[in-house]
Structure 1
Amino acid sequence: MPLTHHVILITGAGGGLGSTAALALAKQGAHIILLDKSIPKLEKTYDAIVAANAPEPIIYPFDLAGTSEMDYQELADRIDEKYGSLQGVLHSAVEFTAFSPISVTKTKDWGHTLNVNLNAPFLLSRVLLPVLNKSAHASIVFTSDSSARNAPAYSSAYGVSKIAMEGLANILAEELEAFNKIRVNTLVPGPVDSPLRKRAYPAEDKHKLPAMESLAPVYVYLFGAESIGITGQVIDARTFNL
């Protein structure tokens, strides 16, 4: 299996895309660190991976918005102590409430959304860089949104966070490119039949959307040897071809 001996951390691993990615990568032999604040959802993803006879994952309950920098550093230290290196990080956790105008957006909601969608990926990437650097090659993947990245009306804090997150990914990719060890890319999943899509567009006919499992080849590519040397790119799943 192409990802044997790979250790990959996935945020939002109890959610739709996070759990899909976790199962797809585990089936390729990767050891997955499942990160989410919901223990029941983590356990569901864990059970799915075990049922697939993939390497047993690790559950790590973690509230991205409610923890301190010390908690982030403790996470990085534990990964370093247990595995000695890390081959991948998938930022899949997302906070989205509803489409609404800026004029009625509450300060608390604004701050919480930016904490989960932007500040958490920054903090997590920063503390994990030393562990990722211990690998010959490693991959960091940020998850964007095809609808939010163009700043449409009413996308509010969610749209702002995705735009800023893509900027963060680009900056990090350029800073790390010269070392030729850690590649950084952004995945745009496109419309898929996910829980987030259902919340955002409740009246949409979900039967016309691709299943979340259709993204499996993209995840395997982004964390596999085929993408070594590819960095600073936006990978759109709708036009992705191996």
Structure 2
Amino acid sequence: MSVNASGPGRSVIVTGAGSGIGRATALLFAREGARVLIADVADAAARSVAEEVERAGGTAVTVIGDLRDQAVVDRVAETAAEEFGGIDVLVNNAGVMDSMSAAADTGDDEWERVIGINLTAPFRLTRAVLPHMLAAGKGAVVFTASEASLRGSAAGAAYTASKHGIAGLTKSLAVMYRDKGIRSNAVAPGGTVTNIRVDADRGAHGPAAHGPAAHGPAALAPYMGNVGSPAQAEEQAAAIVFLASDAASNINGAILPVDNGWSAV
């Protein structure tokens, strides 16, 4: 049953929409009749999804670029506002995984890349979109957080810190803007079938390098048996679209696990 997620004609931005959860989310919004801005760093992938959105009955525009660049952030917000006449929904989905490194093994480059893409970019885009939502007196922001937002045993130091940051940002927005008609929520996916890469060398962070305490993948391995069956990207998209919909009109500041019970273990 449709939850009228975006409403016919509503304006939606989805970042990281060229593949995985972002692609599935853009297509589901399109089936609800939304106009979707597809933001992604990969030109060919974004344009392919835009064509799928059009075939699904929606309207699509693309903005290509790295969201760590403020100029790209500004272009996303400005394009959606100009092309669609406003911004009703922002889905901050784009993200990267770390190498499952423990803090002592996390270099500055890895830290800055992961924090930049996973936390700083969503903050900046939200900041750019808020004036449009405030002017309209309504809006919904949905973040793709992670199981790593809820625990310390699902990823490395950089990714875990970035996703805990997303949980905090989600809640801060909910408190600050709940009287302005703007809601902020997040999904916390567990294992999900996507093309996100985990570049981890299990031996690189193990006991041999750092003495008796296991680091990185070796330390996390005992907890990964609780993951359960992975979700499909479409299952994450359904939760995202629900949180953006009028059916979730009184849900604000929630971090919704979509993890087959992993967070309950």
Tell me how far apart the structure 2 counterparts of residues 91 and 139 of structure 1 sit (CA, whole Å): 11
Displacement, 1:195? 1.9
Match of 1:41 in 2: 45
Match of 1:123 in 2: 124
Consecutive unaligned residues in structure 2, runs of 5 or more = 203-223
Displacement, 1:171? 0.9
- Contact 1:191/1:197 (<8 A) preserved: no
Match of 1:61 in 2: 64
Displacement, 1:58? 0.5
- Contact 2:98/2:198 (<8 A) preserved: no
| Aligned length, in residue pairs | 236
Match of 1:196 in 2: 196
Pair 47,91 (structure 1): closer, same or farther in 2 beyond 3 Å:
same
4+ long deviations beyond 4 Å: 197-200
Match of 2:31 in 1: 27
Say which of 247, 250, 253 aligns to 1:226: 247
Displacement, 1:82? 2.8
Say which of 9, 13, 20 aligns to 2:17: 13
Pair 134,207 (structure 1): closer, same or farther in 2 beyond 3 Å:
same
Residue 51, structure 1, aligned to residue 55, structure 2: yes
> SS at the partner of 2:147?
coil
- Contact 1:96/1:113 (<8 A) preserved: yes
> SS at the partner of 1:195?
coil
Consecutive unaligned residues in structure 1, runs of 5 or more = none
Tell me how far apart the structure 2 counterparts of residues 99 and 76 of structure 1 sit (CA, whole Å): 32
TM-score (norm 2): 0.79
TM-score (norm 1): 0.86
Amino acid at match of 1:80: A
Amino acid at match of 2:184: V
Q: Percent identity?
A: 24
Tell me how far apart the structure 1 counterparts of residues 53 and 131 of structure 2 sit (CA, whole Å): 28
Pair 147,214 (structure 1): closer, same or farther in 2 beyond 3 Å:
same
Match of 2:209 in 1: none
Match of 2:158 in 1: 157
Tell me how far apart the structure 2 counterparts of residues 153 and 225 of structure 1 sit (CA, whole Å): 32
Deviations 1:140-195 (A, max 9, x none): 0111111453123861211110011111111111000122x110001112222222
Deviations 1:215-234 (A, max 9, x none): 34323211211011211111
Tell me how far apart the structure 2 counterparts of residues 7 and 147 of structure 1 sit (CA, whole Å): 30
Tell me how far apart the structure 1 counterparts of residues 116 and 237 of structure 2 sit (CA, whole Å): 27
Alignment RMSD, CA only?
2.8
Pair 177,151 (structure 1): closer, same or farther in 2 beyond 3 Å:
same
Pair 162,51 (structure 1): closer, same or farther in 2 beyond 3 Å:
same
Pair 150,38 (structure 1): closer, same or farther in 2 beyond 3 Å:
same
> SS at the partner of 2:59?
coil
Tell me how far apart the structure 2 counterparts of residues 22 and 153 of structure 1 sit (CA, whole Å): 26
Displacement, 1:208? 4.2
Amino acid at match of 2:65: F
Name the larger-Rg structure.
2
